[in-house]
Each structure stands twice: as structure tokens, then as C-alpha cells.
Chains A and B, each alone.
Chain A
Amino acid sequence: MPDKIRVVIAKPGLDGHDRGAKVIARALRDAGMEVIYTGLRQTPEQIVATAIQEDADAVGISILSGAHHFYFEKVIGLLKEKGAEDIIVFGGGVIPEEDVPDLINMGAGAVFGPGTPTGTTIEWLKEAVETNK
């Protein structure tokens, strides 16, 4: 049996819209993954500490507030600082398409916009974790 994929799903900042995060958490669970759900209003420090303590393969960040630039930069930077840059960072929420290349440049693995079928995220994540090993 292959090792189980563990994913942290986190909601940084002050926006309280967690429907998307919950939908993706359930979809990943149904795909056989272990999803560590942190709840709302997480600081980048909390997200990174959680990912490391949980030995996560990936961190999914859900943002609908428009502050994606700040949070991605912070989370990716902190992971590097802690020597945990091998943990994949991906995101979803309301993120304008023209901002995506910037986030990818920072080191995000992928960004999934509204309306992405959950299957797309699952397939991408499985492959990303596999190639990361």
C-alpha cells in the first residue's frame, strides 16, 4: 500500500467564507487522503507549523479576500525558512487569473479558480505528491 497522502487545508486571514475549503476537504477525503482541517482565521505561522507537525505532503490555501499575494508569499517563505520547502503549496478561491503566474513564480504548485471540478485538483495533487517523493 502506498503511503497515505496528508493535506492541510487552511483558511488564512479574516474572511469567513469556508464553504470552498470544506468542499475541497471532503473531496480529498473521498479520494482517500487524510485532510487536516485547521478552521478559520489562521496566521501564516500557524499554517506552516501545522503543516510541519502533521508531516503534510501539501498545504491547500483557500482565499477569497483578495490578500492571496501576501499569504502565499508568507507561507512559502516560512516553509523555506523552516527547511520544509518540499511541502507543496496550492491554492483556490477567488483569485484573478492574471495574478496566478505571479503566485506560481513564488513557488505555488497550482491555483484552482472557481468552478474547477474537484477531480482536477485531486488528479493534480496525486501527481504532484508522487513526483515530489
Chain B
Amino acid sequence: MPELLKKVLNGDVRGIARAISMIEDQIIKTGTSEAETLMQDIYPHTGKAWVIGVTGSPGAGKSTLTDKLIEQYRAEGKKVGVIAIDPSSPFSGGAILADRIRMQRHTDDPHVYIRSMGTRGSLGGVSNGTREAALILDASGKDVVIIETVGVGQSEVEIMKIADTVCVILVPGLGDDIQIMKAGIMEIADVFVVNKADKEGADKVARETRAMLDLLKDKSWIPPVVLTIAEDGSGLPELVSKIELHKKFMNDTKAGLLRIEKRTNTEVETLLLSRLSGRVEQLWGTYKSDKIKDLLLRKTNPYAVVEEIITNL
């Protein structure tokens, strides 16, 4: 067994950290990278951890809530992995990753692993290696993996492809219910959290959210709405029990299993797309010298060229 794989499976912190860096640095595109071999080896050891997504607008309290979730799960004796994503600068490619400031009290707990990731150009609220990082933590023996997305607006929905239970954090004071109704963020929630419940308007947000859920077409799972004050931990036990309820729904009902199947579908499609996009440059490269002149002289057209390339695949 390769050394790195062995370390990951043994829960060795350095091994896990190295493995995640490897998949971050080698975006899955070629099929021959070390990272891909590692993921193929790791996959059979996954499927044990429950992956929780924590998403919501900047300042909604995602990091503080994550910190409190760690506390809850640790009290139950569960091992916890955390992936906290912050935006990379589109200008320098660098990033300041500071979500863990709110979780530092768990840093020297040997059963908690916290990893910060930069989005590195990915726009969906997570980074390109987030799914793989979650799988690595799963294989390393964590019972729960919490993914904290970047502060999302209204369309960063990638987390639903990765997490088993998506918690969408709402807070009072961010506008009326029309904001929540707009496409995207509403549809991805398995559990709604109205955080900062001690602030004025929290009840109204909860009420409006529940009212909106009446209009759901698929009533097999109606996302519960939980009021929390992450700062002092109020509502956290209820949140954990709702997540547990959702886990039961996913694992024990036909509708839940159907959702898991749909997600696996998406997972393969996403990988396939990423691999194919890696081949685009190479494919076009073999045709380029042949076609570019004709294209410039308008003797042929891009549509015909693409059709020809695809037919000859």
C-alpha cells in the first residue's frame, strides 16, 4: 500500500494534510496524476462520514456556528473534520484564510482536523478540491465532516453536490422574502438556520421561510427551520437533531436514496466534464494548424469544425 494512503487511513494528521495539498495542487484533469491515483485508492474507504454543508451570506455566522457544531459532535464523542473555504484573490491568486480564527479552541483536540482552502478561481462557493478533501477526511476515520463555504450570495450552489445535509444560514435584516425567493440558495437547503435569533426580525425571517416552504413541489422532505444564537450556543442541540433527522430521511427512505443516486450521477458528470475540458486544448491543438487559415478566410466556420472534431473523437 502506498505510504501516503496508509497514513491517511491511519488518520495521521500530516498524511491527511499532505494528501489534501496534493489534490489542491493537481487539479483532476489528466487521469494520470498522483492525486487521481490517490483518490481511486481512497474511494473504497469512504461513505462512512456524514458531510454537512454550512452556507450563507458573509457575516451570517457560519464560522461561529461551525465552531459550535464541532463542540456538539465532540461531546457525543464523534471525530470531526472541517473544511473552511475562503475566497482567493482574483488578482494575485493569494488568499487570507481566516475562518479558523473562530474555531481555534478545537485546534489541539486530536480528534478535530481543520483545513482552510482558498477557492482558487472556482466560483460555486467551494474550491475545486473540496469534494476530494471531504473524501480524504471520510477515509481518515472522521464521523462528521463539516464544509463551510465562502460567504455566498444567491447562486453559489455547488455545496449541494458535495454535502449530505446542507444547512443554509439566514439572518434578520438582509431584506425581504423576495430575496430568499430568488433562484438558487433556497432550493439547496435541507435545514434552514435563522441565526442571530436574538436580533429583531428573526421571527419574521423564520415565518417567511416556512411560508415559502409551503410551495415546495417535492414534499418528501420539508426543510425544518431552526432558530439559533451561535454566539452562545442557543438552538444548537436542536440543529444537530434536525441534521440527524435529515440523515435518517436520506438513508432510510426511497426519496432520500433517490437524492443520493442523483448526486452520484452529478458527481460523475462533473468529473467527466473536468476531464474533457482538460482534453479540449489538446484536441483543438491537433486540428488547429489545419483549420485556422480556412477559418480566417471564412472558408469554413467554427460550428462545422467543432462538429468534425466531435465526430472524430
Residues of A within 8 A of B (CB): 1, 3-4, 6, 25-26, 28-39, 42-43, 45-46, 49-50, 52-55, 82-84
Contact = CB atoms under 8 A, between A and B. Distances in A.
A34 B17 contact: no
Contact of B25 (A4, A39, A52): A4
Interface in B48-100: 88-89, 91-98, 100
A46 B106 CA distance: 9
Interface of B: 13-14, 16-18, 20-21, 24-25, 88-89, 91-98, 100-101, 104, 107-108, 113-116, 118, 120
B92 A29 contact: yes
Interface SS of chain B: helix, strand, loop or mixed? mixed
A82 B89 CA distance: 32
Contacts of B93: 4, 32
A29 B93 CA distance: 8
B24 A4 contact: yes
Contacts, number: 85
B21 A3 contact: yes
Contact of A30 (B14, B17, B92, B98): B92
Contacts of B96: 25-26, 29, 35, 37
B127 to A, nearest CB: 11
Contact of B17 (A26, A32, A35, A54): A54
Contacts of B17: 52-55
A21 to B, nearest CB: 11
Nearest to A50: B107
Nearest to B117: A34
A106 to B, nearest CB: 22
A49 B107 contact: yes
Contacts of B107: 45-46, 49-50, 53
A131 B98 CA distance: 27
Nearest to A48: B108
Contacts of A38: 100-101, 104
